[in-house]
Amino acid sequence: MATGSIRVREPRLVYLMGASGSGKDSIIAGLRRRLGANSGVIVAHRYITRPWQSGGENHVELSREEFKIRRALGLFALDWMANGQHYGIGCEVDVWLASGRSVLVNGSREHLEQARVRFRERLLAVLVTVDESLLEGRLRARGRESELQIEARLKRAREYDGQITGPVCRLYNNAALEDAVQRLEQLLTGQGVVAIHA
C-alpha cells in the first residue's frame, strides 16, 4: 500500500469509520469537547431509526416512517441500513461545506464508496485503527456481546480492514484516547500533516 501525505486546507467532509469497539464514538465525543465556536469545524449528527436513549453517539431519533419521508424528499446527503436500523447524514452538510467549514461525519466502512461518489475530492476518509488484541479487550470489557458476537465483530473488523481501497487516513487509537482526539482535531483544523494510504 502506497503512502503519501497532505495538509488539509480546504473545507473537507471527513468521513470517520471504525470497527465496533475501536473508540470512534469516544473520539467524536472528545472532539466535541475540544472544538471551540471559531474552530471552523462542525460535527454532524446522524439521523437513526433507534431510540435516542440507546447510548453511544448523540443522534437524532426518527421513526421508520419519518426516515422514509425525509429520504423521499431528498433530505439526506447519504443514507444506508446496518444492523437493522436506517442511518442518514442530512443534506445540511452541503451548506456547511459551502460556508467554508469542514464537517465530520460518523460513517460506515461498508458505504464508503457511496460517500466518495457523493462528495468526490471534498471527502477525506479516516479509518480508526486498533490492534486486534486491544479491540478484543475493549469488546469484552463493555460486556454487551456474547462470545460468538465478539468473534464475529473481530472477524468483520479484519475483513473490512483488508477490503478498504483508495485513499484513506488511518487514525491509530492504541494509546490514550486524548492522543487520537488531538490528532483528529489537527487533521480537521489543518494544523497537522495527514498520512494518506492508497
pLDDT digits over 126-143, tens only? 999 889 888 888 888 877
Which residues, 6+ apart, have CB-to-CB distance to 107 below 8 Å? 15, 16, 17, 78, 89, 115, 125
Going by the DSSP 8-state scheme, the letter that residue 21 receives in this structure is T
The C-alpha angle with vertex 30 and arms to 122 and 107, in degrees rounded to 5, equals: 40
Give the domain ranges of the chain: 3-197
Tens digits of residue pLDDT in 136-166: 888 888 777 788 888 888 888 887 777 777 8
Q: Is the pLDDT of residue 44 over 60?
A: yes
Is domain 3-197 annotated with CATH 3.40.50.300? Answer: yes
Confidence of residue 120 (pLDDT cuts 50, 70, 90): very high
Q: pTM of the prediction? A: 0.84
Residue 54 has pLDDT above 70, yes or no: no
For position 198, what pLDDT does the model report?
A: 52
Cα–Cα distance, 102 to 94 (Å, whole number): 10
Distance from CA of residue 124 to its chain's centroid? 11
Q: How many CB atoms lie within 10 A of CB 101?
A: 16
SS3 content of the chain, % helix, strand, coil (to 5): 45, 25, 30
- CA geometry: angle at 56 spanning 66 and 144, to 5°? 115
